[in-house]
Structure 1
């Protein structure tokens, strides 16, 4: 009997692994993953073979409208110093299963680069997407951006900073909407000026010491009329800096007549805000599918 109780946790763990793998197999069947596509030419002087790459997840069936599926470009978080698209394969699979072409990108990390270079990488990935996504079943006229944590701040820059895009191959901003999943870095100018939390100095590694750069990389200072629609999902138990800056961003959008959809998920902490995207029918996917008008 004692031997049975010792083995039971192992058996339960193995059973859970089998269930997860089986679920991923079922989810993967309706989609195709094209892995490690370079979005920067290998001849570019700053080309990074590990970071200037992306994955595309496409539904296997052609879009019923003949124009292609809506496209969501997802940017991972990691405090601007860590993270990898390969951690988030479940997001690509879930989106493709629901009639969305998903583009998951890597970008260079700090150090040695800083956030302006990371934002430029994201803009280059967006340019690649607009120019190439049709061959993966996507509609280049329906491209949306999405990000969690630091990736949310970078996605917000793509939706608001036309000059950033123009400098990286996009004379017109193609972003049709932005999905903010517990975004960080929306107002790093105020954050780094205040420095009121323990450990805040670590964020000068990616952002540097120049307040001009802090402001330039803060999407809240780029809010203007006629932006694409934003939808926000904020964890009820997330970091105060995230809830505070997201609330201020929302209020500035409201002041320009562009009030975003804004949902606070009670009890949810920062990391679970992205982990919940493992489940296909969670509230974030529901709002996303409505925004992109998936069929």
Structure 2
């Protein structure tokens, strides 16, 4: 998050609970998750599994669902990958997103993944595919319907979610039928950014022998899962052209796709709007939920 946003969150935490010193040493998303809990975002959602191992590289994931979920229920599933430019971020920092979608009726899986500089593309995408395999095999025990799985993510996480959905090689390599994903919501994602011009994209992607394979837009196809691509007019981190270009390509191919360009929001504010204290910034949660429920219900 930009500096002004971080300071704003710290001031709010200090006001509601005296966490000023804590705020100065805490990542902005984790800070937001604490603020979300303090301001009521935690009511009605339950963390039903924490730091569950998956894959072969020490990855872990959390599972959230509604606190009033009944035994024997089968709710639609959402796997949400966090952002951080492929270099930072952690599943526990995004509790606010897990809680938000759980309260909307989803069983939510929030996985970790390996990051730069320890790894480069495609390691973090392979980790994401492993998370899908875990979800397929285990989500029923938490009340999730493995026949109604959607993907979402913010920023780098949206890149992963959309690439997994469009390029079948990664799920296939993990032993997962690529048809498992029934809907995708990409929030402020990078989908069309080659040739690489930023340090983060160069560090994450440039070593791969065929750089075009890193680009979700290269795999647009008519039978892609339905997609909602969200961007915002003030996003200077991942430019709106990423969503605009991919939407146009998917429409050209005949796929089901929607795009929303939120006026006056920046890159961070799109994901912040999932949280209770910042939900008034824009209807990101409502629009995402509408799209996911429409298409996941059709899959059940």
Place the TM-score, normalised by the shorter chain, in its bin.
Answer: 0.7 to 0.9
Q: CA deviation at 1:31?
A: 2.4
Q: Work out which of the residue numbers 112, 117, 128 in structure 2 matches 1:122.
A: 128
Aligned pairs for 1:84-123 (under 5 A) are 84-123=90-129
Q: What TM-score comes out, normalization by structure 2 length? A: 0.81
Aligned pairs for 1:139-288 (under 5 A) are 139-184=145-190, 186-188=191-193, 190-192=194-196, 195=197, 200-210=198-208, 212=210, 214-239=211-236, 242-279=239-276, 282-288=282-288
Cα-to-partner distance string for 1:216-238 (whole Å, 9 max, x where unaligned): 12111111111111112211111
Are the aligned partners of 1:80 and 1:115 in contact in 2 as well (CA < 8 Å)?
Answer: no
Q: Work out which of the residue numbers 62, 79, 84 in structure 2 matches 1:55.
A: 62
Matched, 1:76 2:82: yes
Secondary structure in 1 aligned to 2:175?
coil
Q: Cα distance 1:23–1:157, how it changes in 2: closer, same or farther (>3 A)?
A: closer
Q: Cα distance 1:225–1:38, how it changes in 2: closer, same or farther (>3 A)?
A: same
Q: Cα distance 1:76–1:11, how it changes in 2: closer, same or farther (>3 A)?
A: closer
Cα-to-partner distance string for 1:38-88 (whole Å, 9 max, x where unaligned): 112xxx4xx22xxx0000001233369x65111111111111111111111
Greater C-alpha radius of gyration: 1
Distance 1:78 1:107 in 2: 11
**Structure 2 residue runs without a partner (length 5+):** 1-9, 19-31
Are the aligned partners of 2:230 and 2:243 in contact in 1 as well (CA < 8 Å)?
Answer: no
Cα-to-partner distance string for 1:91-121 (whole Å, 9 max, x where unaligned): 1111111211111111000112112011000
Secondary structure in 1 aligned to 2:273?
helix
Distance 1:16 1:240 in 2: 30
Q: Cα distance 1:14–1:115, how it changes in 2: closer, same or farther (>3 A)?
A: same
**Structure 1 residue runs without a partner (length 5+):** 1-9
